Amino acid sequence: MAYWIVTVQEDMLEEMVRRSALPADDRRATELIRPGDYVIVYVAKYYARRFGGSFVLVGKVASDWREKSEVVYPPERAINKPVYLYEAGVDYLAAGNCRMKDIMDSLAFVENRLQLSKYVRGIPANLGRPVPEGDARVIEECIKQNGLDLSALVRPSSSGTLGGL
């Protein structure tokens, strides 16, 4: 079991929660992140309105990766072409708004505070390395202290369910 940070744009959160999924555009993620691992979702600051620069979700990877060819996520809909070619099922366990700047000094994985962006870029982030369990616990606790209901991230679908893979 490993703990991974994955960085996404804010507009992807709704589909990720609705589908109980983690998308990836690079095969490397499928080779590193395995069922039973935990993912911590960080929202990139760019184009974000509410959660930019924050950790917002903690989840447990529940399935193997599958190839995806349908257009699902907002960046894909913008160009009407699949961008995220892989997807794994995730059981999201907690949602919240944990601002990175509030806990950064408590995180060992951020080795150089002046180059923060290199640690929160990509799927997986942290230069493709898992984060220490202690850091994962700090982030998870912060998310829980600043908790949100998962439904706050998702508009109800026409069927009234959250969906899924």
Contact of 87 with 24, CB cutoff 8 Å: yes
- Assigned CATH class of 3-153: alpha beta
Q: Does pLDDT of 56 surpass 80?
A: yes
pLDDT for the residue numbered 53: 94
The first and second tokens of residue 30, run together, are: 């499928």
What are 9-41's pLDDT values in tens digits? 999 999 999 999 999 999 999 999 999 999 999
Contact of 49 with 10, CB cutoff 8 Å: yes
Query: What is the DSSP code (8-state) at residue 103?
Result: H
What are 61-79's pLDDT values in tens digits? 999 999 999 999 999 999 9
pLDDT for the residue numbered 165: 39
**Residue 99: closest CA among 135, 46, 50, 152:** 50
What are 98-131's pLDDT values in tens digits? 999 999 999 999 999 888 889 999 899 999 999 9
pLDDT for the residue numbered 155: 65
Q: Where are the domains of the chain?
A: 3-153
In what helix (H) or strand (E) does residue 79 lie, and over which residues does it extend?
helix 74-79
Tokens 């969906």, residue? 163
